[in-house]
Structure 1
Amino acid sequence: MDYLSPADFTRKMVDAGETKIFMGTRDVLIRAIMAGAVLAVAVCFAVTAAVQTGIPMVGALIFPVGFAILNLMGFDLVTGVFALVPLALLDRRRGCHFGGLLRNWALVFVGNLIGSVMVAIMIGVTLTHAFSAAPNDVGQAFAHAAEARSVGFKEAGFAGLIEVFVRGMLCNWFVCLGVVGAMLSSSVAGKVIAMWMPIAMFFGLVFEHAVVNMYLFPLGLLMGGNFTVGDWWLWNEIPVVLGNLVGGLLFTGLALYMTHGRTSPTRNPAG
């Protein structure tokens, strides 16, 4: 059958986490840079569709194309490794240790940031006639969105930090379900369908994704958004990263591993 059982795909999750810990620095960075770049283009694709149609949900429905592409190509988002890599340690795989986990997370984070900012600059060129004219409607949409998701949370103070943290948790719960979705099937069609559903949900509900925001905020600044780099990191990126870590690891990685990777023994019937 095309569909893998929960026990089977949970083993694949642990195997993937182990592989990522031992992956060479060059490969980790290349895959992370390309993941950030592909996701950034997908964000632009989705926002462009939303602006053109005036229906934000259209953007949510087509955004998963980028996530599907980067996963099929074997690229890595830090949001995904947040859930997968710790499982190799929890499963006590030989040679897997906390230092290797932190190394992988750091390299993927840096690579995602490089790829996202690189594409933000290139997309900025296309939205402003190489920065010789004012941003078009799509560019202005990015500026307004970046302001709302940084200064908007700042104006709410501590409550804003709590909100953005929870939005980050909710986001990576479903993003990591998308990562696992790529392991549910042995066919391309099955993988894409399983990835598409949770990713469309997170984007449509405007939850906060660390790598999406690595693209949104640099582009928003280039498009004239009225916020600072400090606003971006303090009132969005840092709490979002922490929320993504907690949500992805707790609600997806650990939840699936603890019930399917370490299944409790079945009670024997009396007699």
Structure 2
Amino acid sequence: MSYVTPSDFVQKMIDAGAAKATMSTRDTLIRAYMAGAILALAAAFAVTITVQTGNALVGAVLFPVGFCLLYLLGFDLLTGVFTLVPLALLDKRRGVTVRSMLRNWGWVFLGNLGGALTVAVMMAIVFTYGFSVDPNEVGVRLGEIGHSRTVGYAEHGGAGMLTLFIRAVLCNWMVSTGVVAAMMSTSVSGKVIAMWMPIMLFFYMGFEHSIVNMFLFPSGLMLGGDFNLVDYMVWNEIPTVLGNLVGGLTFVGLTLFATHARTGPDRLTVLDAPVVAPRREEVSA
């Protein structure tokens, strides 16, 4: 499947980060909007399958179809740019600054939010026949998800917040691994297989993804979930964004950059280095 070695695909990661940091606002917003919308549709698809089959594993196995599509179409998720753009900054790529990095993150966040909210409204209409009837079984489930993953955390206080944050860290560890894994192959089939595995894992394990949540929780609010906007922002979205940043950058971006782009000298090189004899003055001293 045309395997690309780590030393080569890490350079692709840095190149991708530089391209995203210097992309025009127009293109950044369009690509982020479409990424948020496609991922939201995939989430709606997975929840529908889970409700209809009663098997969460089936939904998790099929959810990555959305991630694969948006990646192959060249669209951007906040979770991905959290990992890639800082590498271009560390590599001192031309035009990449802290300001350009934060600018990219801000526009991608807004674009993802816009796309996810658009699909949330559309699906709420579908689940309620234009808000003319009570939500169907899938709509009710979306409301329950919103309650359990906001108020459910709040009921545990600090321990709940810690659990939420760690789930967000673990999520983008896996999601960013999927982004990077796609760079391991030059064939479409190789990219899809490599992406599928970590994305399936994060979804089935119930880890917290900031963009998926931009669909799930607004949908839940529109469909009668027993929580409010403050619950969503304080007890999910804000901690999830921070956890996603830590998880993707720490466990994927920086580790790969440190060992494959800034590889240290091997032990044989150090051992074989010539020994310089001390000068006579140093010995006498």
TM-score (norm. length: structure 2): 0.94
Q: 1-side partners of 2:42 and 2:245: how far apart? A: 22
Q: Which residue is 1:217 aligned to? A: 217
Q: Which residue is 1:83 aligned to? A: 83
Q: Which residue is 1:164 aligned to? A: 164
Q: Which residue is 1:268 aligned to? A: 268
Q: Which residue is 2:100 aligned to? A: 100
Aligned partner of residue 184 in structure 2, secondary structure: coil
Say if 2:179 is the partner of 1:179.
Answer: yes
Q: Which residue is 2:53 aligned to? A: 53
Q: 2-side partners of 1:94 and 1:245: how far apart? A: 23
1:128-147, aligned counterparts within 5 Å?
Answer: 128-147=128-147
Q: Which residue is 2:278 aligned to? A: none
Q: Which residue is 1:37 aligned to? A: 37
Aligned partner of residue 158 in structure 1, secondary structure: helix
Q: 2-side partners of 1:51 and 1:248: how far apart? A: 30
Q: 2-side partners of 1:234 and 1:132: how far apart? A: 31
Q: 1-side partners of 2:197 and 2:22: how far apart? A: 31
Q: Comparing 261-270 with 87-96, which one deviates more in the overlay? A: 261-270
Q: Which residue is 1:206 aligned to? A: 206
Q: Taking every aligned residue pair, what percent have the same amino acid on both sides?
A: 58
> Residues 181-234 of structure 1: CA distance to partner in whole angstroms, max 9, x if unpaired?
111110000000000000000001000000000000110011100101000000
The one-letter code of the counterpart of 1:43 is A
RMSD, aligned α-carbons: 1.0
- What is the count of residue pairs matched by the alignment? 271
> Residues 89-129 of structure 1: CA distance to partner in whole angstroms, max 9, x if unpaired?
11111221100000000000000000000000001111111
Aligned partner of residue 134 in structure 2, secondary structure: coil
Q: 2-side partners of 1:134 and 1:268: how far apart? A: 70
Point out 4+ residue stretches in structure 1 off by more than 6 angstroms: none
The one-letter code of the counterpart of 2:257 is Y
Q: 2-side partners of 1:33 and 1:146: how far apart? A: 22
Q: Comparing 151-160 with 234-243, which one deviates more in the overlay? A: 151-160
Q: 2-side partners of 1:267 and 1:207: how far apart? A: 39
Q: Which residue is 1:153 aligned to? A: 153
The one-letter code of the counterpart of 2:155 is E
Q: What is the CA distance between 1:167 and its match in structure 2? A: 0.4
1:223-262, aligned counterparts within 5 Å?
Answer: 223-262=223-262
* Unaligned segments of structure 1, at least 5 residues: none
Q: What is the CA distance between 1:266 and its match in structure 2? A: 1.7
Q: Which residue is 1:9 aligned to? A: 9
Q: 2-side partners of 1:228 and 1:27: how far apart? A: 33
The one-letter code of the counterpart of 1:19 is A
> Residues 152-172 of structure 1: CA distance to partner in whole angstroms, max 9, x if unpaired?
011111111111000000000
Q: What is the CA distance between 1:130 and its match in structure 2? A: 1.0
The one-letter code of the counterpart of 2:115 is G
The one-letter code of the counterpart of 1:207 is F
Say if 2:197 is the partner of 1:197.
Answer: yes
The one-letter code of the counterpart of 2:239 is P
